[in-house]
Structure 1
Amino acid sequence: MAREIPESMELPLSWADSGQSVLKLNIRHLWLCGVWPLPGSWIFEVYGALGLVLGVWNAVESTLALYFCWGDMDESTMVFISTFSIGCGTVKMAFFMCNRRQYYALARSVEMLVSLQSEFCSADPALADIRQGSQRRASRLTIGLLLLMLSQYPVWFPMPLIARPDERRLPFAQHGWDNNTNFYELSYVVQCVIGAWTTQISNSVDLLFVCIMILTAAQLQILTMRIASLKREDIEVKLEKGISCVADQTENSCSDKMYEKLCQCIESHQNILRFVKHLEKTMSSIVMTQFSFSVLVTCVSLFQATYAEAVTLAAYSCSWLKASHRFKRALRILMSRAQKPLVLTAAHLYPMNREAFVSLVNASYSYYALLGQMTK
């Protein structure tokens, strides 16, 4: 079976190659995180392997922390959420490092995609604006989200020291076997490094695919405008039929020219479709990882809120028949309060529950339909 991608496409990129790429910011940030060598050395490989070791270390540390805090719902939930979030970045890093050749080929394919319709963009300023605008949006999105992530670390990492200054708390998993007494400062720094490193990797990989999708969408938009212009040219030909097509050209020659342009559009469309297939093959494992860990984090977050529904039944099941009036009155208050559902919210605006999810999906489709009608 012949290879779909030439071997030359899968060669490592140099630092100069990355500087000329439309994905320059994404590639160099992944290089900084230790997953994309430019072109790389044994020192870089050791640096990347250190990230994987720290990810495994966090998994072991969190497992031990869960063992010692099992039964404490608040503590267990915190450990689960941090473990899944950090684990997501670690697994993405492992997938990326195992499939580097695919990402080298993907970066080169993006360059070919962007230059696919460059001839037509050079002749039409409107098409050129679409291509340049997509590149600017991709760059701004990358820089903006990276700065947003970096701004969160000075807020979240010192929080245990600010919220509970009298306790020796760690940012994520607590060392229940020694009450955070041994190597506390070192453990604090290591957890902060692991959290920052893995979240940067996870965010950077996601941004890489998002930027590629923005560039791909721009190519499709350029293609639609080219096809629409063929329709307008067809109308002009019909209006001028019987008078003159274009100087010294027959109607048939005009039609042949339109047919050639249509064939060029079809060829561009086929190239875009092949690129999307390549993109889907490359990103499928990363997307599945993100989806799986996001579901786990959401489930753990909602579990603690929904678990309180059992409080009412437990209160009713106790031996309250022969208890004092004061006890029964307090028990009624507890049962009434427990019947009020505990709901996690997003920015104190939207509840994180099934009804809100269904409403979000419906609203998304409604906005999509509205935008489609406005575009028409």
Structure 2
Amino acid sequence: MVVLEASARQTLGESGEPWDVLRRNVKVLRFGGVWRPASRSGWRPCLFPLYFASVCGSLLNIITLDMVRSWLLWGDMTAVTFALVSAMTNLNGVVKMVHCFRHHDTYSRLVSDLNGLVALQRRYCERNGALKAAFQRACRRAARLTVGCLAYMNVLGQMWCVVPLLSAEPPDARESALPLVSLPGLRSDNRAWYSFAYLVESHAVFYWNFASLGMDMFFASAMIHVTGQLNILNIRLAQLRREGSTEDQLQPSRSTLNGNNRPQERLAGDSATMYGELCECVKHHQAILRYLEFLESVMSPVALTQFLCSVVAVCVTLYQITFNPEGSGVIKCAMFLPIPALQMFVYCWCGHDIMEAGLSVSLAAYSCAWVGVGQRVTSALRVVMCRAQRPLQLTAGKVYPVNRDTFLSLINASYTFYTLLRQMRNR
């Protein structure tokens, strides 16, 4: 890892920003109050703890209000389940923020090691159009996923905040609607307290997008770039060949008649060149495997928390859409339902892509021009192929493998819990 960090610093010093592949995600987390400022001097590092406390405090305030509302309205299953989905969503954001705040150095190392991983294959990308296209494809995928999901959530968050203002309020209502938690006894007639509560909840909605969803996009972008590095490695392996290999297939038979051993010497030299390139590919493959182990150790508790909270959120939101008599509540729940499913799917989709790209290493090694090369080249290729047949599988808390099958099983679990809630209500 030390070698990767040194390589990253050298690469960024020579080429600048474009090779800092997670810079966009770091900016999002810094804006959301999760990531510490880059400089350690000045007023920003001093004010960062207050900024972090304001965002985290808003989310904790919503969780507290959800608990109070559940206690006051215990027995009203619609109100309690709505408070539960709000509390689980905000609790998920708090866990992510605290985890990043406590392990900031580890997260920073995660970024620098990924830059070092990219730096290892940078010179190959600059000389080869196919490799450069694979790297740019990974950058575009990460950028589109980050910008698209955050833009969608910000538009949805604004709609979430506007719906209470546009919905008609019954004259005999016990409380007025708020973006997240309606406080018993608080009506819009009390403008001072209602405005204060509305602004606090809107603040929580706005910053949850960058703190919680931004963390998901951070890990998803890291996984996309690891997949990109595996794809680059696969192209390099498939392009391995001896120099002049087509010509050398005929040369030995012609020269043997004249007793000339130069073609055999040339063949040995070309195989040595191919073996050297193969050794470089093996080293880069090992670096990717080490980075994946490090990525899993950091991401594993966050992904497990996300899966558990999302399963509960999907289950309870389905219940709200089915049995909530209020029109505004149904609209808000219908708008919110894709979010927990999206958060689970992003992890599973990116993790599955890593697994498929890792398995493709074996096929790429077999696709190179290995016919007629030396024994040490073929032996090294067999070792690479055998190692690549072990799936590169990330896990969530060492419990759930992060792949598409897990996503389907989590969705099925959410629907099972929803069915259980519906049966409990009918009884």
- Distance, in Å, in 2 between the alignment partners of 1:154 and 1:26 is 22
Deviations 1:68-120 (A, max 9, x none): 22222222222111111122111111111111011110111111111111121
- Distance, in Å, in 1 between the alignment partners of 2:334 and 2:60 is 31
- Distance, in Å, in 2 between the alignment partners of 1:205 and 1:121 is 29
Deviates more, 1:265-274 or 1:76-85: 76-85
Which among 125, 133, 147 is matched to residue 129 of structure 1?
133
How many residue pairs align between the two structures? 311
Aligned to 1:50: 54
- Distance, in Å, in 2 between the alignment partners of 1:285 and 1:196 is 24
Aligned to 1:194: 204
- Distance, in Å, in 2 between the alignment partners of 1:293 and 1:21 is 32
Greater Rg, structure 1 or structure 2? Answer: 1
User: Retained in 2: the 8 A contact 1:36–1:100?
Assistant: yes
The 5 Å alignment of 1:144-155 reads 144-155=148-159
Aligned to 1:28: 27
Aligned to 2:36: 37
RMSD: 3.7
Aligned to 1:337: none
Aligned to 2:240: 230
- Distance, in Å, in 2 between the alignment partners of 1:271 and 1:118 is 14
Which among 87, 90, 106 is matched to residue 86 of structure 1?
90
Which among 117, 121, 125 is matched to residue 117 of structure 1?
121
- Distance, in Å, in 2 between the alignment partners of 1:233 and 1:141 is 41
User: Retained in 2: the 8 A contact 1:78–1:172?
Assistant: no
- Distance, in Å, in 1 between the alignment partners of 2:61 and 2:320 is 26
Please tell me whether residue 279 in structure 1 is matched to residue 284 in structure 2: no
Which among 186, 190, 194 is matched to residue 184 of structure 1?
194
Deviations 1:183-204 (A, max 9, x none): 1111111111112212321111
Aligned to 1:139: 143
User: SS at the partner of 1:129?
Assistant: helix
User: SS at the partner of 2:239?
Assistant: helix
Aligned to 2:382: none
- Distance, in Å, in 2 between the alignment partners of 1:18 and 1:59 is 39
Q: 1:270 offset after TM fit, Å?
A: 0.2
User: Retained in 2: the 8 A contact 1:138–1:214?
Assistant: yes
Deviates more, 1:226-235 or 1:211-220: 226-235
Q: 1:253 offset after TM fit, Å?
A: 1.4
Describe the shift of the 1:302–1:117 C-alpha distance in structure 2 as closer, same or farther (beyond 3 A): same
Describe the shift of the 1:113–1:246 C-alpha distance in structure 2 as closer, same or farther (beyond 3 A): farther
Describe the shift of the 1:52–1:234 C-alpha distance in structure 2 as closer, same or farther (beyond 3 A): farther
Q: 1:173 offset after TM fit, Å?
A: 1.6
Q: 1:160 offset after TM fit, Å?
A: 1.6
Deviates more, 1:51-60 or 1:282-291: 51-60
Deviates more, 1:158-167 or 1:279-288: 158-167
Aligned to 1:98: 102
The 5 Å alignment of 1:165-184 reads 165-166=169-170, 168-176=176-184, 183-184=193-194
Aligned to 2:306: 290
- Distance, in Å, in 1 between the alignment partners of 2:125 and 2:262 is 24
With the length of structure 2 as denominator, give the TM-score of the two structures: 0.64
- Distance, in Å, in 1 between the alignment partners of 2:69 and 2:251 is 81
User: SS at the partner of 1:35?
Assistant: coil
- Distance, in Å, in 2 between the alignment partners of 1:259 and 1:52 is 54
Aligned to 2:160: 156
Aligned to 1:315: none
Residue identity matched to 1:23:
L
Deviates more, 1:234-243 or 1:60-69: 234-243
Describe the shift of the 1:247–1:36 C-alpha distance in structure 2 as closer, same or farther (beyond 3 A): farther
- Distance, in Å, in 2 between the alignment partners of 1:211 and 1:83 is 27
User: SS at the partner of 1:183?
Assistant: helix
Which among 278, 297, 301 is matched to residue 317 of structure 2?
301
Runs of 4+ in 1 over 3 A off after TM superposition: 16-20, 177-182, 231-238, 243-249, 301-308
- Distance, in Å, in 1 between the alignment partners of 2:244 and 2:77 is 69
Q: 1:174 offset after TM fit, Å?
A: 1.9
- Distance, in Å, in 2 between the alignment partners of 1:246 and 1:79 is 81
User: Retained in 1: the 8 A contact 2:20–2:115?
Assistant: yes
Residue identity matched to 2:279:
C
Aligned to 2:285: 269
Q: 1:175 offset after TM fit, Å?
A: 1.4
User: SS at the partner of 1:190?
Assistant: helix
- Distance, in Å, in 2 between the alignment partners of 1:78 and 1:187 is 18
With the length of structure 1 as denominator, give the TM-score of the two structures: 0.72
Q: 1:205 offset after TM fit, Å?
A: 0.6
Unmatched tracts of structure 2, length 5 or more: 7-12, 39-43, 256-260, 325-332, 339-348, 368-427
Residue identity matched to 2:121:
Q
Describe the shift of the 1:247–1:126 C-alpha distance in structure 2 as closer, same or farther (beyond 3 A): farther
Deviations 1:323-360 (A, max 9, x none): xxxxxxxxxxxxxxxxxxxxxx989xx9xxxxxxxxxx
- Distance, in Å, in 2 between the alignment partners of 1:303 and 1:169 is 19
Q: 1:239 offset after TM fit, Å?
A: 2.7
User: Retained in 1: the 8 A contact 2:82–2:320?
Assistant: no
- Distance, in Å, in 1 between the alignment partners of 2:168 and 2:107 is 44
- Distance, in Å, in 2 between the alignment partners of 1:234 and 1:85 is 61
Residue identity matched to 1:22:
V
Q: 1:231 offset after TM fit, Å?
A: 5.4
Aligned to 1:206: 216
Describe the shift of the 1:305–1:141 C-alpha distance in structure 2 as closer, same or farther (beyond 3 A): closer
Residue identity matched to 1:218:
G
User: Retained in 1: the 8 A contact 2:154–2:209?
Assistant: no
